[in-house]
Each structure stands twice: as C-alpha cells, then as structure tokens.
Structure 1
Amino acid sequence: MIDVRKRLKEFLDLYAHDIIYIRRDTRFRCECYVERSGETAPDCPKCFGTGYVVQIEKQRTRRNIGTVPESLVGINQLAQVGRFVPKAYVYYLEHNVKPEENDLILEVIWDINGVPRLIKEKHVISAAEQKLGYKGRVEFYQVYARYDQKGANDDKALTER
C-alpha cells in the first residue's frame, strides 16, 4: 500500500517552499476588536487584521494557481476590468498542519538566517479540504486561498514578535 504522507514528504523535500501560517485562536479576541461595532483594525500590528489572537508558524507547502467557483464564500475580485488575475491559489499542506478557514498564509522574503523580513503576498484561506486515505486517515490538506490586501503594519507584526 502507498504511504501518501511519506510520498508527500518526499515531494515537499524536493519542491516545497516555506510560508508563514497565521493561525487564529477564535477563543480570544485581539485588543483591536471593537465589541460595540464588531469591527477590527485592518492594519493591527498584533493580529494582521483578523480580530483574534494569532499564532505564527513556519510551514512547508507547494502552491499552484487555482480556479475557484464564483460561489465560494469570501472570493473577491480585486482587479481592474480587462486584467487577468488568478482567483485563488491552491496550497498543499501536510496532515499535521490542520488549516482552517479564514486563517492566513503569508508568502514572505526570508533573510539569510531563515528569518522572515517582508511580506510579499497575504492570502486568506477560503476552504481547507482534508484528503483522506486508508480507513479515513488524513493524508494531507488541499487549501484554497484568495489574495488579501496587506495591512500597513503587517510587516511590523511579522518581525517584531
């Protein structure tokens, strides 16, 4: 029997790149959250505009340009008329990552010591699909993520922790 996890690990060893995964802890609100209005500061230097306390993780992934149906919740069209922009990216993550909708994926520029310095792209997870193997074991995740505008303080939130 094929061990999909092992095969994916071997594939990622050859072709993956590192990203920053921003995991929201929905049990705790960030101090930028305004209870009365239900709004958050989109450029909050602590939560990346999510409104929740976040955990920053380094993960390996492989990314492809994807096409997502217009009906998928949370998909925006952020392009001028006549320009082609991919609707989404598809990320492949290992079984232990356990991605959730509305968490963030940051494509970053790394320094020579492996420390993230600048955010190139910010993506919001629209859908995270478990890929199951034998007896329902989660083998990996296929994640659809859409582009999101980078906040003014996102680089600061990344580097000053």
Structure 2
Amino acid sequence: MKKISLGVPLALAGAATVLTVCPGLRRAHTFFGVVWTALSVAHAYQYRNKMAKDFFGETAVTEFFGGAKAKAAALKQKALEKFPAPPTRLGGLIRSMRAAFYMPGRIRLYSPSFIDNEALSEQVLQVLGEYEAFDSVDINLRTGSLLLIYEPEKLRENDELRVIEDYVKTHVVRR
C-alpha cells in the first residue's frame, strides 16, 4: 500500500462522526464511523513497523517483520558459535543431538536416531561408559531421549566434560 497521507481524511471522518451524534443523523453517524475505522486500519497498516518499534522495541520488529526469522536465526547461530562443543568423539555426539534440559547434575538430550535403534544406543552407552563422571546414563528407545545424571564437581574435573556441560547449558531448546 502506498504511503499516502491519511491524516486529513482521518481528521475529517473523526470530526464528521462526532458531529453526527445528534438525534436523526443515525445513518450518517454509522457511515462516518465505518469510514473512520477503515481509514484507521489502513493508517495502522501503513505504519505497522514504526508502531511495533515504538511499542515493542527494535528486537520485536526484527523477530516478526520482513525476513526477520532468517536474521534472528543467524544472530542466534552466531551467538551459539561462541560456545562450541569440543571436536572429540563425545563432542560430535552431543552436537548431533538436541539439548532439551539442563540443570547441574542432570542433562536430557534427544535424537530421533535413537528411536527403536538398539545398536546405536549400545554404541552410545559404550562411548559414555568410558567416562567415570557419569553416575547414570539412560536411553529411552521409544522417545529417543538420553538422560545423563552426574555429580557436577566430579564432571568439571574433566576439561572435555566441563566444556560439553557449558555447551549443553547454552544450547538448551525449550519447547
């Protein structure tokens, strides 16, 4: 929609609506009220970006208007790259999964690859079994979830596991 000035038509429609409140001018009042509403909607549509910036701030506009999803995803990815998982076997495994929950001592990860795949779950259990820091490792083949339970102090003694914990902490996706 072109940016034509709607200030004067809005003012006239508003004034006409107010002036036709008198008895006997009911149809004129309704007509001017409808025109005023339509012009207001058109005006709001024209200035939706400015109103969103004024009301919600710059971030909301970035997230909701004009190719913003891609821009927001790029910004998020750039921020997440500051916390990479280590380039180890365990780091590659963790990067391939979605971190669903984190609290010190408990991490839940998801991967659709685990669903009904006993061979893969056995391989993962073998890799995770190499680390003494994990008290419990549980894989649910129905949901594809991996639950790691550990003592935070014990885990943080291993530099690789400490980096992985930081990675998971910054990459948790809540749904």
Q: TM (normalized to structure 1)?
A: 0.26
Larger Rg: 2
Q: Which has the higher strand share?
A: 1
Give the structure, 1 or 2, with the largest relative contact order (CA under 8 Å, sep 6 or more). Answer: 1
Q: Which has the higher helix share?
A: 2
Q: TM (normalized to structure 2)?
A: 0.25
